[in-house]
Amino acid sequence: MPLLIKGGRIITATEDYRADVYCADEQITSIEADIDPASVAPDTEVIDATGKYLFPGFIDPHVHIHLPFMGTNAKDDYESASKAALAGGTTTLIEMICPGPDDEPLAAFNEWNDKAKPLAAVDYTFHMAVVRFDELAHRQLSQIVTDEGIASFKVFLAYKGALDLSDSDLFDLLKMARRMGVITTVHCENAEAVDAMQTKLIGEGRTGPEWHEPSRPTCVEAGGVHHIATFAELTDAHIYAVHTSCADALRVAVDAQLRGVNIWVEAVAPHLVLDETYAQRTDGFEGAKYVMSPPLREKSNQDALWAGLKSGAVSTIGTDHAPFDFKGQKDMGTDAFTKIPNGIPSVQERIDLVHTHGVLERKIDLNTMVSACSTNAARIFGLYPRKGAIRVGADADLVVYDPTHKHTLSVETSHSKVDYNAFEGWEMTGRSDVVTVRGKVQVRDGTFCGDIGRGRLLKRKPTHPSTG
């Protein structure tokens, strides 16, 4: 069914104006100051967006849905994660495929995609984690890029013996990524340092969730950024530092950018609004709800991240959504924080948190919100201008956003299957009223009303060729 959205204030990464938008055959086909409903197809649905913003569909560049981790598995599937994402205005997800060191990459891709395909109500794609780099992996990774359209890798400078690569393999992978035009996303820490600190703290009887942050302090994250930036400088590879949590790491990334290193920086919603005191809570084991890696930091780091977004040094805001129940999963770590599954679910809350605590507190403007939560991710990961834009020919992924709507975040209103909400009771201003995926209304009045299985795998071409 064609769709006409009238009277909205269109906000893109660079523009702010009022116009009507007409959509047909899954795309935006016309943008005009005033489109008469009588002039379009008789079966057109008309949505009144007067007094509301019209955003391009938001993109979360960093989520975990199917995630085996520490002997358990994340709670969401693509149905629950899609509903949560859409209720929060997100129309495209980029999930991390995280195989084990003995798994074959192609089998892992098929496993993750098979879980997404029948249940996704959003469009989706993947970052392919590389946790082995032997001859078979090299061959299959090439196939995944060429045949399956997965044009981004993921590497971990953490999780010793499980997900980390040797420096030799890391260097060779970056050379391969450069040749293929693939960008490599990177978890920036130091597997050896974190392992040593964890062993020391546990040995001293410091086992609670409040010791998670001291086991991987800001200097370790900053060192990880320096390490991967050095390798990128040597190989001319393009890299993307995920979930950057602190001023120390951001300074290192900016220094690399100034040297000409091809590095982009991601912040995630939890690091922008939560601080280390949440993981230090003494009311029972509540702090475990806030264990993620890199950890929540001292509050002053939030100012650096917001400033980085304002200046453009930080390109994107994701979530690192990783939903593990408090009871039955997080509490596996009651005797040792190293056994707490990492993650703070936030795929549904991201946009409202950014609007409430970023835009309304004047840390960033609306254009920056769109660029950081949609357009920049589309550009970096080969989805633009199909995604992340309001322009003729783009996919009709649109969000009619009511900037005055008041609501309270709660586990009771979350679509995620996890048994808690890290932002329980927080008052938000702003809500995604209507959300479309390729012209089909999937959310109306803030409530999911769409089709499970509508989502498609987005095949991407490599867009990061060597500059050398």
Say what the pTM is.
0.97
Helix or strand (DSSP H, E) at 178: helix 167-180
DSSP 358: I
Find, among 151, 193, 186, the residue nearest to 170 by Cα.
186
Fold adopted by 57-380? TIM Barrel (3.20.20)
Given the structure tokens 């979530």, which residue do they identify?
Answer: 319
Query: What pLDDT score does 466 carry?
Result: 66
Whole-number Å distance between alpha carbons of 291 and 211:
10
Amino acid at 267: A
DSSP letter assigned to residue 328: T
CA-based torsion, 254, 259, 260, 261: positive or negative: negative
Name the residue among 244, 322, 326 with its Cα closest to residue 283.
326
Tens-place pLDDT, residues 329-350: 999 999 999 999 999 999 999 9
Residue type, 352: D
What are the structure tokens assigned to 427, written together?
């008052």
Chunked into runs of 10 residues, the chain (468 residues) has average pLDDT values of 97 98 98 97 97 98 93 95 98 96 96 98 98 95 98 93 89 97 97 96 97 97 98 97 98 98 98 98 93 98 98 98 97 95 97 98 98 98 98 98 98 98 98 98 97 98 78
CA distance 457 to 90: 15
Q: Distances in Å between the alpha carbon of 344 and those of 48, 66, 239, 289? A: 35, 15, 24, 7
- What's the token pair of residue 298? 């001292």
Tokens of 98: 């995280």
